[in-house]
Structure 1
Amino acid sequence: MTKEFDFKHIGKDFSAGLVVFLVALPLCLGISLASDAPLFSGIIAGIIGGIVVGLISGSKLGVSGPAAGLAVIVANAIAGFPSYEVFLASVVLGGALQLVLGLVGAGKIAFYFPSSVIKGMLAAIGLTIILKQIPHAFGIDRDPEGEFQFLQPDGENTFSELLNLQYFTEGALIIGVVCMLVLILWDRKWVKQNPILSLIPGPLLAVVLGVVINMFYPENLRLAGTHLVQIPISGSFAGFVDLFRYPDFSSITSFAVIKTGFLIAIIASLETLLCVEATDRLDPRKNITPTNRELIAQGAGNMLSGLIGGIPVTQVIVRSSANIQAGGRTKLAAVIHGFLLLFCVVLIPDLLNMIPLSALAAVLIIVGYKLAKPETFKRMWAEGQDQFIPFIATIIAVLFTDLLVGILIGLLIGIGYVLYTNFRSAINLHDEGNHVIVDFKKDVFFYNRAELMKIFSKLEEGDELTLDGRNVDFMDHDIFLAIEDFVKDSKKKNIKVNVLDITRKKIKFGKTDETIKLDH
């Protein structure tokens, strides 16, 4: 635990934790709103994700909390259950299942996702953040902050909402622009190298500036109501305790509760593992997160969140990337962000409710830009089609669906492109008139059989065929049989066949190193 909490970096971790807190606060509220859950349930999930998951997790820079990817499932479950307390029972069950997944080693699935898909996911999240926050920067705040899916409950979609920018709020737009300019300025080298200015977190300065500008606005520009952060205010300790809800376990054996718990466990685990992979790639110090331990941490967090009234948690790339961009060094930053959520909700909710959403939108737009820089697209293009096509497909799929569906589509396209590339490159044909040379490459699979049979069909009497398998590591059994059958028939057609190093050993078939026999 000592290495995980290296207190010599406490200054950077506190600064990063403060930034993550500012990013997480509206997301906690917005995602609970998008999930049709009590607003305080999102705050609970954020606190649990920061403190409990942060303490148990082995991730140094990952930050957990309520995730937009689960909003639809949560909303549908709450609407279908007789009470919110029954839904909480399914959250506890989902957390227990995640614990089991971690204990049996299911965290390895994260390593099977190609880097092009992970990079596409990051870029897509960055673009989604920008697109979703632009309306808030213009003061159009009727939709919840955490509504990250493409199609939205109000009939709008990500792009149609941008057409409503003509109905902007002047005061919000001014604050959004000023805060964004401050953040761009604070990213300059001369600011980072200044011994005094570098101590002030740019996002914190932007948010404070947004509050101050709004305080001194004339009446016609001043923001209020839905244009500001809205945290539930308890008024007393008893009122604070009353905000908590507790699960109803009387329906724990019902099919609906078990099904919802299973969905929460699977989707929350997949989102977490994908975010772990992405966070480790963003980490400038390249720490490697123990994925099984992460699932155990998430399971414990979801069980506790469900027990006290919170919605499900996952590791979240928006908060994790904000942590990295803000200079977080250890997992203390995530824990600090959780405590800040707790203290501020208890002690100073009135002050937090003065923060303009347009100021927070400016912070998130800059975070999104850093995830989807133009340099990333140029670099992926330079790496070739096998990297760029899955990368861009993942971006488009995530933008037009949601995070999990988009990732799965990107993965399928990536796999399809690998199969297509292998199909095109597995057989290299050299036609030298009457002598045809078929050079097999590293791996030859069953779907290459059609191409091979086409080559065989074009051979005429008196031709010579050389089948070169010296570069083959694996040959599918169907390919071996097709060659074997052609060799047997070649004598009848008066076709000379030379077979170089094509054996059953290469197709991992049988115990003998049987070579294709030539009859002539």
Structure 2
Amino acid sequence: MFKHLNKDLPSSVVVFFVALPLCLGIALASGAPLFAGVIAGIIGGIVVGSISGSSVGVSGPAAGLAVIVLSAIASLGKYEYFLVAVVIGGAIQILLGILKAGVIGYYFPSSVIKGMLAGIGIIIFLKQFSVAFGLPDSYDFFHYSIKVMIDNIILAWGGLSIGTLSITLISIGIMLFWSSVLEKKHHFFKVVPGPLVAVIAGILYKLFIEDDSVFGIADSNLVSVPVPSSFSDFITQFTFPDFSIITSTEVWVVGFTIAVVASLETLLSVEATDKLDPRKRVTPTNRELIAQGTGNMLSGFIGGLPITQVIVRSSANIQSGGRTKLSGILHAVWLLLAVVFIPDLLNLIPLAVLAGVLFIVGYKLAKPSLFVKMFKLGKTQFLPFMVTVTGIVLSDLLTGIGLGLVVGLIVILINSYKNSHFLNVEDKTGDGKLVKMTFAEEVTFFNKGAILKSLNDIASHSNVEIDIRKSKYLDYDILEILEDFKTKAKNRDIYITIISDRGKFENPDSYQKFFNLKSNY
């Protein structure tokens, strides 16, 4: 692990600078203590990084779970109760890893996954407006009641903080200019992340602008992490779960939700990270679930947010030249040292800077070009995508994913219904019509309706050729339909030929031979 220290050490510093604002920003978006995001980042790096089989993946608090955390804390009523759900979620993840459920991510349609990320991005984006304007959370600019929205917009003018809004715009401007212009100019600007520059700009703004000026930032709009007087004092500031709620059904539902979504996000990130890895190393997914579950249990026990492997930090690690898991572990060590030794400096960061970071994160997850791309892919991709997005934004994450999966399944059934066979009807002078029916590669009971309708629509006195040479699998239900049609065909003077790799079966006698063989299909 120390073989490539010359590469992993500088990479870990870059990942630290990327992770710090994201840890704080995701905690802010989750409605959790900011310190909880740092705890998750530390455990994600040291604990998960040590157990995981991923060489370049970096774990920590994920933006994709912010919506779940926000609603779960509100519904459970206390952060200590929510921590119980995190512990439960971690235990379920370990169980999933032991049961070798690492392939679960491959069973979710791509359109639903993209819809999930886009829906999360929209919610993250919308939830930052109060922070960006320096207003209390009660100012909901996007309430589903038009009257409440208008009332809050009117009230917001009176409580608007010019300084907070200014640093929000400055932070967004720095990050956009950094990524779209400067990173293309020199490698240095790729090594030093834009969010870090935005954080430094926010600290300088706070230091040099008077608090009582019109452009000042109130202390209530700054990051607030505990400032320990000693390391032992630092230890006492962790939050611990209240297990008195362990018998509640609701906390188990939240725990199961965290386990499923965190596992899904991790597996998707693993797949993406392995593709980005220049050495194309493959991460063992079952071991990754066990590592993530262990990290989540520990994070829940000491007051941290849920953890997943995160593509933003992982890609930063790869781009910075990280070679082994030491880079991810060291970035967490730097996080730990920062909250122990320089918490006063962290407390100079305006919350508006973190809101700016989350604006960019939310936009990247739900950028308009993604919607255009999904639309161009056709309704089979666009419909599940949009249903998932709408369900998440208007309801909650599980509802949105569930609705998207249902629509995706309906689309599959419709396509299967349509594509079970090809039917061609030719006129044949004197001998009636020649009907050629070619079956698809796989024909299952989903196709019964379409095939039965086509057979029933065949006119009397026709010659029917059923070609199954392309078929790798014929469901027994389909064979029964064909056998039933044999009887109907006699009554309607329809002559049937079945063309198979096993031979050509024509009625009346040889046709029966095919059905004697059907158990082998």
Amino acid at match of 2:303: G
Relative distance call for 1:364 and 1:439 in structure 2 (3 A) is same
Per the alignment, residue 459 of structure 1 pairs with: 458
Q: How far, CA to CA, are the matches of 1:169 and 1:421 in structure 2?
A: 54
Aligned 8 A contact 2:7 2:321 in 1: no
Aligned-partner Cα distance in 2 for 1:488–1:137? 74
Match of 2:284 in 1: 290
RMSD across aligned positions (CA):
3.9
Match of 1:138 among 122, 126, 133: 133
SS at match of 1:439: strand
Could you say if the C-alpha distance between residues 457 and 197 of structure 1 is closer, same or farther in structure 2, counting changes exceeding 3 Å? closer
Are residues 1:431 and 2:400 paired? no
Shift of 1:301: 1.4
Q: How many residues align?
A: 490
For 2:349, what is the secondary structure of its paired residue? Answer: coil
Shift in Å at residue 143 of structure 1? 6.5
Distance 1:263 1:199, change over 3 A: closer
**Does structure 1 conserve the Cα–Cα contact (< 8 Å) formed by 2:441 and 2:471?**
yes
One of 61, 85, 110 as aligned partner of 2:57: 61
Residue 310 of structure 1: aligned partner: 303
Q: Which runs of 5+ in 1 are unaligned?
A: 504-512
* Aligned-pair identity (%): 36
Whether 1:324 aligns to 2:315 is yes
TM-superposed CA distance for 1:341, in Å, is: 3.4
Residues 20-65 of structure 1: CA deviation (Å, up to 9, x unaligned): 11111232355353xxxx6655543343223212222233234223
Aligned 1:35-434 pairs, distance under 5 A:
40-59=35-54, 60-65=56-61, 67-68=65-66, 69-73=68-72, 75-77=74-76, 84=80, 91-92=86-87, 94-142=89-137, 168-194=160-186, 197-218=189-210, 219-246=213-240, 255-256=247-248, 260=251, 264=255, 267-278=258-269, 280-281=271-272, 284-285=276-277, 288-307=282-301, 309-311=302-304, 313-315=306-308, 317=310, 320-324=311-315, 327-330=319-322, 331-433=325-427, 434=433
Q: Distance in 2 between matches of 1:409 and 1:18?
A: 38
Letter matched to residue 21 of structure 1: L
> In structure 1, what is the Cα distance between the partners aligned to 2:111 and 2:314?
23
| Deviates most, 67-76 or 425-434 | 67-76
Q: Secondary structure at the match of 1:26?
A: helix
Contact residue 384 and residue 404 of structure 2 kept, 8 A: yes
Shift of 1:315: 0.4
Q: Deviations over 1:131-188 (max 9, x none)?
A: 33344333335269xx9xx989x99999998898656421122111122222122124
User: 1: CA distance between counterparts of 2:359 and 2:21?
Assistant: 13
Deviates more, 1:118-127 or 1:449-458: 118-127
Asked whether 1:468 is paired with 2:462, we answer no
Partner of 1:508: none
CA distance in 1, matches of 2:147, 2:309: 25
Q: How has the CA–CA distance of structure 1 residues 157 and 101 changed in structure 2, closer, same or farther, with 3 Å as cutoff?
A: farther
TM-score normalised by L of structure 2:
0.80
| In 1: Cα distance, 2:267 partner to 2:40 partner | 18
Contact 1:50 1:334 in 2 (8 A): yes
Flag the 1:161–1:99 CA change in 2: closer, same or farther, 3 A: farther
2: CA distance between counterparts of 1:304 and 1:155?
43
Secondary structure, aligned partner of 1:140: coil
Name the SS for the 1:313 alignment partner: coil
Question: 203-212 or 6-15, which moves further after superposition?
Answer: 6-15
Distance 2:112 2:477 in 1: 32
Closer, same or farther in 2 for the Cα pair 1:403/1:325, shift >3 Å? farther
> Deviation digits for residues 335-380 of structure 1, max 9, x if unmatched?
3443343223222222212111222222222233334444444444
Question: Does 2:499 correspond to 1:500?
Answer: yes
The aligned counterpart of 2:446 is: 447
Determine the structure 1 residue equivalent to 2:506: none
1:485 is displaced (CA, Å) by 0.8
Could you say if the C-alpha distance between residues 194 and 246 of structure 1 is closer, same or farther in structure 2, counting changes exceeding 3 Å? Answer: closer
Q: What SS is found at the alignment partner of 2:437?
A: strand
The 3-state SS of whatever aligns with 1:131 is: helix
Output the amino acid matched with 1:281.
A
Question: 2:40–2:307: 8 Å Cα contact kept in structure 1?
Answer: no
| Separation of aligned partners in 1, 2:242 and 2:156 | 44
Deviations 1:452-505 (A, max 9, x none): 2222333343222222222222222222111101112211221222222298xx
Q: Distance in 1 between matches of 2:331 and 2:367?
A: 27
Q: Could you list the per-position Cα deviations for residues 204-245 of structure 1 after superposition, in whole angstroms to 9, with x for gaps in the alignment?
A: 111111222233334222112332112233444453332235
Q: Return the offset for 1:382.
A: 4.3
Q: How far is the alpha carbon of 1:287 from its aligned partner?
A: 5.4
Q: 1:47 to 1:351 in 2, by over 3 A?
A: same
- 3-state secondary structure, aligned to 2:307: strand
Cα distance change on mapping 1:199 and 1:477 into 2, 3 Å? closer
Aligned equivalents of 1:246, 1:467: Cα separation in 2: 68
- Find the counterpart in structure 2 of residue 507 from structure 1: none
Q: Which letter maps to 1:315? A: T
Q: Given the alignment of the two structures, is residue 490 of structure 1 paired with residue 485 of structure 2, yes or no?
A: no
Extract unaligned runs of 5+ from structure 2.
Answer: 428-432, 503-511
The residue that corresponds to 2:24 in the other structure is 25
Provide the rounded CA distance (Å) in 1 between the counterparts of 2:501 and 2:515: 7
Secondary structure class of the residue paired with 1:500: strand
CA distance in 2, matches of 1:52, 1:151: 40
Q: Structure 1 pair 181/123, CA: closer, same or farther in 2 (3 Å)? A: same
Pair 1:106–1:245, CA change in 2 (3 A)? same
Compared CA separation, residues 368 and 31, structure 1 to 2 (3 A): closer
TM superposition score normalised by structure 1: 0.80
Contact conserved, 1:215 with 1:222, CA < 8 A, in 2?
Answer: no
